[in-house]
Structure 1
Amino acid sequence: MATQMTKAVGILAYGSLINDSGDEINPLITERIPCITPFNVEYSRKSKNRDYAPTLIPVDIGGAAVNAVILVLNDSISLEEAENMLWRRETRELDKNRKYKKKLNPGQNSVQIKILENFQTVDRVIYTSIGSNLDDNSPNILAALAIQSILSNAGNAGTDGVRYLLNAKTNGITTPFSAEYENNILEHTKTTTLEAAIHKLDSQRISELAKAAEYMFLFDKKERTLQGPADYNADIYAYYNDSARLDVGCVRDQLEIWFAKYPQNEKEELKSRVKATFNPAIFELFIFALFTELGYSLEIHPEIPGITKRPDYFAKKGNDVFYIEVKFMTMLSQNEQSLERRKNAVLDAINKVDASNFLLKLEDISFKDSSQPSGKDIIRYFNREIANYSPDDYTERLLQHGFDSMPEITYEDDKIKITTKLLPKSPLHRGTNSRSIGAHPTVTQIGNDSEDIKGSLETKATRYGNLNAPYIICLNKQSVGLDLIEVQEALYGSLQISWSDNPNNREEKMEFAGNGFFGSKNNPKFTRVSGVYITNANTANLATTAEHAFRHNPFAKYPIAFVIDQPIKELLHIPEDYPLKKLPDLNF
């Protein structure tokens, strides 16, 4: 009985490698064997070399086994040589002396070479595997990335995402996302074939209009290296744009999902405001995303006859129409904001103190005037004082006598007084520098913010005169939770007990005093406002403590039937572990 001859080494190609194996590998191919991948594949990574176009990678969840080709190499090629060549091809390494080195703990962006033994008559078949860096690889996001790549340098080089998808389709590679991914590209380019889309987008790239194409992104496409938390006085947009932290990348991805749905002709203006005033502008984007998910179409900055001012949105759904004004609530006055900036500058300076052996517990910071203290003087002082303490001796004393008995270290000059105590690091963490602030003073709030809520609403209540449709105000108040009692008091007034004069039946009952934003039946206020939406949502708490509520004005000139009864997490499809899940940075 004849035995089937086996081949020594082959390379499993399931993407661009099928048609473009590279100058080093291509001359060594002796045979091509069609097969099916023994693992699932999906468009789950964006490639820097393709201007961040989606590419196919092996996946553990989702995807599908797809058509592939084994590139059988010349028998003279060893497994090690094949691994080196495949690694150089995948990493675009031009130096042929560079070799693949297997990593024990490969990172998300590490190209790994894996081996299949005795696969399809080939002794050893190697293939590449690399981690996913797309949290959201839904077809509309894939299409956005592919279109953006063809409008970039990758389009000139022919290595863009649209051509990548076309080549995969030509090779019979189909994943669960392939059809809808293609349809999204055709829909956005108003074409009927990928070939036509490529021709149209290639033409568009030639003009300056390509720079402001339909898929403008909120954040830059770039490699990110900035680690650690933001400085206290950091520019928020700049930090989000530069940070390589995985949780910040997750937040960036979520904001890009919302921004992708924002009207093209309004994106540039919104992006400029996000850069200038991050939190208020992002809340405006949040409201757009929220009401869009509720089924409304939103006109941005609609014109109001007779006045130059414009509200943020005009919402429509069937016969329901209403105006929306967005307000991000600022709790601090101008003087308080100025003080906060000076305080943050001091905190940033303290964080540069040598923290090799100790962290600092801040007890108190008191400014003596309105000028900015010297950060360099503060750093020098604390470095000198901390050097006098042995972490072992300090720890022993702390264990014997307790924290209250430990000495304070106080910096004082004519501008500021800073009182601190030391927190010794464990021996395991000594010698490693880090931010030096380990604990802040405890802040306790007495009372609630109902008056501040009323004040913020009043600044928007009459801004646009007498409108001819319902008008709602969307307010963001930053707090750990949304205090509904506080909201009720702000809108309807403080709770009070009322009773009858009849001594035989006093009929005691709790009711609102009517001194809230909406007033009372006998003294209605701001009747042009039909209702108020309020939330504590921010970029970090969408899956955890973000709450919201809508309250109707019972005395509104134009009552509204609007109801919101789903949590933010459900309405906006926020993952359960957002943003704590270690997600990759989309590098938008």
Structure 2
Amino acid sequence: MLIFDDIPRPDTNVPEQHEAAFAYLNRSGRPEAARVRQLAEDWLTHYPADHRDALIARLRSTIDDQHRAAFFELFIHELLLAREHRILAIEPKLPHTPKSPDFLVEAKEGHRLYIECVLATGRSQQEVAAQARLNQALTAIDRTSSPRHFLDLTVHGVPTAPISINAMTKALRAWITGLPDDDDAMDAAPFQHQEHGATISLRAFPRRHPERARRAIGARFFPAGLVTVPDDVRGALEKKASRYGALDQPYVVAVNALGMFAREDAAIDALLGSPCMVLEQTADGLASREGRNPDGVWSGPSGARRKGLSAVLSTERIDPWNFAVRRGRLIRNPWTTAPVPPFDLGVDDFQPEKGRYRIAAGQSMGEILGLPDGWPEA
């Protein structure tokens, strides 16, 4: 079974607004998309045959986070193989819990370890599902014929249940038909659809070049949100840190931070504590120094914690299109009870040394996986 469909692909345009990530990759006729699809299919042949169908189903998901999570697991699997490590088991069975980490690995250096993959999105499963329902509705709006006007979209809230697409688009078509052709359209009463806690509002503006009309939505407004990348990473790691209890081998969590503003420091802050300034009384008065709050996955109010989490492999915005330019880092837990022996992943390696980290520089993901510069464009 293949990941992608065997279909004609004449469309080389960019994705439609709110189009599911897999849907676009599956249908795109762009040469870059063809390279991405071929590489993913090649990687799949390296994945154990008895686990492929389940992975393919997740890769083909219409929910972007499920698609990205499945790709991240396939990516980590290939990264391990590229560094000559062996995957002994997918979802290995543990004697003390019905839960299973993603991989049991035998490193080329000879030791074994468990690896778990997780996305840091800051969203719960319920929020992900709600956003998918909203995206389905917005895609239907964007595909509605509006040759004389483009639509200005405003959204408040997300739906707690599926939106009635047929009823909404029927009302929308009637509203579009009744709009004036000239600038009076801007003064027309807006279209509004409220359902299951979501409010979708649309205003109309006349198109200056109707012959170019393709999509209905020309502008979008969503309420501002708070950027909390370290919190997102911390939350993802907290959920996985002790999920499998006491393990007989070192335990590494690979985290992919998907936030637009995700950066390397976010993982360090999430693990060791958020940065702060510490004021200390000295004989000469107050002195300040840089410090960390006791809110880290590995450092809490009572000191070191989550000692069973041996290390974290942190990355940012890994997806099928852009992983080649990304970097990663293996951040080792200074207080772990199960340290990871030498383990070559080709990424930056953060080794604890005298209260600080000594960093051994690695390569980009594209270099590690042997891809040409500029891939998938090249």
TM-score, normalised to structure 2's length? 0.79
Distance 2:144 2:136 in 1: 13
Amino acid aligned to 1:571: I
Alpha-carbon distance in structure 2 between the residues aligned to 1:497 and 1:217: 54
Asked if 1:498 corresponds to 2:278, the answer is: yes
Identity among equivalent positions (%) equals 24
What pairs up with 1:137-216 in 2 under 5 angstroms? none
Q: Report the Cα offset of residue 280 of structure 1.
A: 1.5
Partner of 1:283: 72
SS at match of 1:501: strand
Higher relative contact order (CA 8 A, sep 6+): 2
Alignment of 1:531 with 2:311, yes or no, is yes
**CA offset at residue 473 of structure 1?**
0.3
**Equivalent of residue 299 in structure 2, options 519, 536, 540:** 519
Whole-Å separation in 2 of the counterparts to 1:467 and 1:414? 50
CA shift in 2, pair 1:338/1:309, >3 Å: closer
Determine the structure 1 residue equivalent to 2:252. Answer: 472
What amino acid is aligned across from residue 56 of structure 2 in structure 1? K
Deviation string, structure 1 residues 397-431 (Cα, Å, up to 9, x no partner): 99xxxxxxx6475113554654344455454xx33
Q: Which amino acid aligns with 2:282?
A: N
The residue number in structure 2 matching 1:541 is 322
For residue 181 of structure 2, what is the aligned residue in structure 1? 389
The residue number in structure 2 matching 1:209 is: none
Matched, 1:419 2:201: yes
Matched position secondary structure for 1:440: strand
Partners of 2:122 and 2:235 within 8 A in 1: no
1:491-526 deviations in Å (ceiling 9; x for gaps):
111112224322326552101223200115952111
Match among 122, 128, 131 for residue 331 of structure 1:
122
Provide the residue aligned with 1:271 in structure 2.
Answer: 56
1:296 corresponds in structure 2 to: 85
**Match in the other structure for 2:354:** none
Within 1, Cα distance between the matches of 2:154 and 2:26?
33
Equivalent position SS for 1:534 = strand
Contact kept in structure 1, 2:134 and 2:159, CA below 8 Å = no
Say whether the 8 Å CA contact 1:496–1:510 is kept in structure 2: yes
| Counterpart in the other structure of 1:170 | none
> How many residues of Structure 1 are paired with residues of Structure 2 in the alignment?
350
Structure 2's unaligned 5+ residue stretches are: 349-361
RMSD of Structure 2 on Structure 1 (CA): 3.3
Shift of the alpha carbon at 1:549?
A: 2.8
Equivalent residue number for residue 311 of structure 1: 101
Equivalent residue letter for 1:283:
F
Give the Å deviation of 1:220.
Answer: 3.9
What CA distance in whole angstroms lies between the structure 2 residues aligned with 1:224 and 1:571? 31
Cα distance, 1:480–1:236 mapped onto 2, change above 3 Å: closer
Which of 237, 247, 255 is the equivalent residue of 2:40?
A: 255
C-alpha separation in 2, matches of 1:557 and 1:335: 35
Mapped partners of 2:227, 2:52: distance in 1: 40
Letter in 2 for 1:272: A
Give the CA deviation at 1:258: 1.9
Relative distance call for 1:368 and 1:343 in structure 2 (3 A) is closer
Cα distance change of structure 1 residues 457 and 566 upon mapping to structure 2, 3 Å threshold: same
Aligned to 2:356: none
Deviation digits for residues 455-492 of structure 1 (CA, Å, limit 9, x no counterpart): 22122222222112211001122123532333222111
* TM norm structure 1: 0.53
Q: CA deviation at 1:538?
A: 1.0
Residue 131 of structure 2 aligns with which residue?
Answer: 340
Aligned partners of 1:482 and 1:548 also within 8 Å: no
Residue 439 of structure 1 corresponds to 219
Q: Deviations over 1:119-174 (max 9, x none)?
A: xxxxxxxxxxxxxxxxxxxxxxxxxxxxxxxxxxxxxxxxxxxxxxxxxxxxxxxx
